[in-house]
Amino acid sequence: MFSSASFRAIEGGNLGTSFTSNSRSLSSSALMSSSAHFTTTMNISPRKRVGVLVSVSASASASDSASVNTNSGNNLPVSGLVFQPFEEVKNEAFVVPAALHTSIARQRFMDECESAINEQINVEYNNSYLYHAMFAYFDRDNVALKGLAKFFKDSSEEERTHAEMLMEYQNMRGGRVKLHSILNPPSEFDHAEKGDALYAMELTLSLEKLTNEKLLSLHSVADRCNDPQLADFIESNFLNEQVEAIKKIAEYVSQLRRVGKGHGVWHFDQSLLLEGGAAV
Ligand SMILES: [Fe+2]
Ligand SMILES: [Fe+2]
C-alpha cells in the first residue's frame, strides 16, 4: 500500500505520535482517503529503528479519519499538507527520457555548465601536458635536476586527476564529456637570463594563476545558471587548493630569484627532492 505514499526516514523514531504499529497493517483505503499527517515507527532495517514520516493529502472522510489516532485526541483532519508525490511526478519535468543517448539522471543542468566543465577539463589536461614536458626536460641527463623533475611529474599527474574529477562530475550530472585538442608544449625551458629552473617556475606560476581565473569563471557560470551544486563542487574541490598552489609556486619563484642560476639551483633542487614538494 505504501507504493502510493511518500516516506522520509527520520533517525531516532518516535516523533510524538500515538500511531505506532506495523504500518503494513493499515488498510490502503484508510491511508489514501485520510488527510492525516502522522509519524510512525517501523523497522526498516533489522539493525535500527527509524521514524517514517508519512504524508497523505487526499481529503478525508469522517469514517476513514477515525481509523487513524493522532495526538490531538480528536478526529479533526490535519490540514495544510500539500505534497502529493504521485500527482506531482506527473509533471513533464519528471518524465524519464527513453531516448538511448539521453541521460536519465540529468536534472537542472544547463548546457552552458556542461560546456564550461568540458573547457575546464581541457585546461587541466593542458596543464598536465605542459608539466609533463617540464618533467621530461629536467629529467634529461644533461640537465639532471631530479627534484624539479619529480615535482613536475607529480604536478602533471595532479592536473590529470583534476581533469578526471571534472569528468566524473560531468557524468554524475548527466552531461557528456567532450575532450578538446591540447596544444603541444615546448620542449626547451632554458632561458638566457633566468636559467631553466626560474623560467619554468615563473611559467608555472602564470599557468596556475590562469587556471584560477578559469575556475572562477566556471564558478560564475554555475552562479549565472543558478546551479549551487556545481558552485559547491568547484568551491570544495578546486578553489582553495588553487590559491594554496599559487602561494607555494610564488615562494619557489622568490627562492629561485634569490639563489640565482648557478650552484644555488642545485641546492633548491635537492631541497625539493628531499622535502618532497607536493604537486600543484
Ligand atoms: Fe588543476
Ligand atoms: Fe595546478
**112 CA to centre of ligand 2 in angstroms:** 24
Cβ–Cβ under 8 Å, residues 280 and 204: yes
**134 CA to centre of ligand 1 in angstroms:** 16
159 is in an annotated binding site: yes
Q: Indicate the burial class of 151 (C-beta count within 10 angstroms; 0-12, 13-18, 19 or more).
A: buried
Quick one: DSSP state of residue 102? S
Quick one: DSSP state of residue 91? S
**242 CA to centre of ligand 1 in angstroms:** 7
**236 CA to centre of ligand 1 in angstroms:** 13
**124 CA to centre of ligand 1 in angstroms:** 5
What pLDDT, in 10s, does the model give residues 109-160?
999 999 999 999 999 999 999 999 999 999 999 999 999 999 999 999 999 9
What pLDDT, in 10s, does the model give residues 192-241?
999 999 999 999 999 999 999 999 999 999 999 999 999 999 999 999 99
**In which element (H, E) is residue 133 found?**
helix 111-138
Calculated CA dihedral for residues 165, 167, 168, 171, nearest 10 degrees? 160
11 is in an annotated binding site: no
**158 CA to centre of ligand 1 in angstroms:** 7
Average pLDDT value for the chain:
80
**191 CA to centre of ligand 1 in angstroms:** 25
Q: What is the 3-state secondary structure (H, E, C) of 150-209?
A: HHHHHHHHHHHHHHHHHHHHHHHCCCCCCCCCCCCCCCCCCCCCCHHHHHHHHHHHHHHH
**235 CA to centre of ligand 2 in angstroms:** 15
How much is the pLDDT for 9? 38
How much is the pLDDT for 12? 38
Taking the CA of 246 as reference, the closest ligand is 2
Taking the CA of 131 as reference, the closest ligand is 2
Q: How far apart are alpha carbons 154 and 249 in whole angstroms? A: 14
How much is the pLDDT for 171? 98
**106 CA to centre of ligand 1 in angstroms:** 26
Classify each residue of 81-104 as buried b or exposed e, where b means 16 or more C-beta atoms within 10 Å of its C-beta. eeeeeeeeeeeeeeeeeeeeeeee
Taking the CA of 207 as reference, the closest ligand is 2
How much is the pLDDT for 130? 98
How much is the pLDDT for 81? 73
Q: How far apart are alpha carbons 240 and 102 in whole angstroms? A: 34
Taking the CA of 243 as reference, the closest ligand is 2
**269 CA to centre of ligand 1 in angstroms:** 23
What pLDDT, in 10s, does the model give residues 162-178?
999 999 999 999 999 99
241 is in an annotated binding site: no
Cβ–Cβ under 8 Å, residues 77 and 57: no
